[in-house]
């Protein structure tokens, strides 16, 4: 991988990590804002998946759809099927951001979203580090 591409993947991870940091800060506050937590969980997951695709130089559409991104990742590595539970994060990309689709998740739901985002991060890191990846050719 060339230096420019490697730097781009690193920046996507940095931005995703910032989303997780925002969640952690919010969870440690006296009155966590759960819709913000869920939004950042979706955003972090989206960015980790896109970092994987960029690493492998796979084009992807402009989308917040976690399921669609997982399916594209599965073209390179079928193990991404195990991330299908992360599809539930897709609704947090828009649904919790605007009053038209007003929805406030409860704290347990927000914590679950955070846990899912952390699993996506760990999974993607392992796939990028793995020397014995089981990629579909």
Percentage helix, strand, coil for the chain under 3-state DSSP, each rounded to 5 = 70, 0, 25
Give the model's confidence band at 2: pLDDT under 50 very low, under 70 low, under 90 confident, else very high.
confident
Report the Cα 7 to chain-centroid distance in Å: 19
Domain boundaries, the chain: 3-129
**More confident site: 100 or 107:** 107
Please give the CATH number for the structural domain made up of 3-129: 1.20.120.330
d(CA 56, CA 12): 14
Determine the pLDDT at residue 135: 40
């Amino acid at each position: 991988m060339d230096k420019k591409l490697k730097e781009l993947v690193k920046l996507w991870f940095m931005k995703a990590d910032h989303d997780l940091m925002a969640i952690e800060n919010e969870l440690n506050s006296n009155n966590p804002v759960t819709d913000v937590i869920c939004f950042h969980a979706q955003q972090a997951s989206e960015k980790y998946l896109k970092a994987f695709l960029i690493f492998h130089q796979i084009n992807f559409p402009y989308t917040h759809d976690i399921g669609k991104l997982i399916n594209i990742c599965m073209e390179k590595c079928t193990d991404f099927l195990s991330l299908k539970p992360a599809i539930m994060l897709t609704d947090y990309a828009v649904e919790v951001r605007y009053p038209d689709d007003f929805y406030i998740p409860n704290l347990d739901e927000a914590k679950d979203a955070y846990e899912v985002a952390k699993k996506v991060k760990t999974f993607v890191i392992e796939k990028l580090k793995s020397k014995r990846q089981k990629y579909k050719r």
